[in-house]
Amino acid sequence: MVTGSAGFIGGHVAETLRAAGLDVVGLDLRQGDGAHHPDAQDLRQGAKAPALACRADVRDPDALDALLPGVGVVVHQAAKVGLGVDVSDLPAYASTNVYGTAVLLAAMARHNIKRLVLASSMVVYGEGHYACAAHGRIRPGPRTVHDLKEGRFDPACPHCAEPLTCAKMDEDARPDPRNAYATTKLAQEHLAANWARETGGRVAALRYHNVYGPRMPRDTPYAGVAAIFRSELEAGRAPRVFEDGGQLRDFVHVRDVARANLAAVSAPVAPGELRAWNVASGTPHTVGEMAVALAAERGGPEPRVTGEFRLGDVRHIVASPERAASELGFRAEIGFEAGMKEFARS
* pLDDT of res. 50: 47
Helix (H) or strand (E) holding 44: helix 40-44
pTM of the model: 0.90
Cα–Cα distance measured from residue 102 to residue 192, given in angstroms and rounded to the nearest whole number: 8
* pLDDT of res. 325: 98
Q: What is the per-residue pLDDT across 103-142, written as a single tens digit (0 to 9) for each?
A: 999 999 999 999 999 999 999 999 888 999 999 999 888 8
- Residue 91 has a CB neighbour count (10 Å cut-off) of 11
Residues in the chain: 346
DSSP structural state of residue 202: E
Cα–Cα distance measured from residue 87 to residue 183, given in angstroms and rounded to the nearest whole number: 13
* pLDDT of res. 40: 55
* pLDDT of res. 43: 53
Angle ∠(141,93,233) on CA atoms, nearest 5:
80
* pLDDT of res. 49: 47
* pLDDT of res. 41: 58
Cα–Cα distance measured from residue 84 to residue 81, given in angstroms and rounded to the nearest whole number: 8
Rg (CA), the chain: 20
* pLDDT of res. 36: 42
Structural contact between residues 319 and 280, judged by C-beta atoms closer than 8 angstroms: yes
Structural contact between residues 18 and 76, judged by C-beta atoms closer than 8 angstroms: no
Q: What is the per-residue pLDDT across 298-323, written as a single tens digit (0 to 9) for each?
A: 998 999 999 999 888 889 998 899 99
* pLDDT of res. 35: 38
* pLDDT of res. 32: 55
Q: Determine phi and psi for 103, rounding to 5 degrees.
A: -65, -40
Q: What is the pLDDT along the chain (346 residues), one digit of tens a residue?
A: 999 999 999 999 999 999 999 999 999 998 654 434 556 555 555 555 445 778 999 999 999 999 999 999 999 999 998 766 678 889 999 999 999 999 999 999 999 999 999 999 999 999 888 999 999 999 888 889 999 999 999 999 999 999 999 999 999 999 999 889 999 999 999 999 999 999 999 999 999 999 999 999 876 655 688 999 999 999 999 999 999 999 999 999 999 999 999 999 999 999 999 999 999 999 999 999 999 999 999 998 999 999 999 888 889 998 899 999 999 999 999 999 999 999 998 8
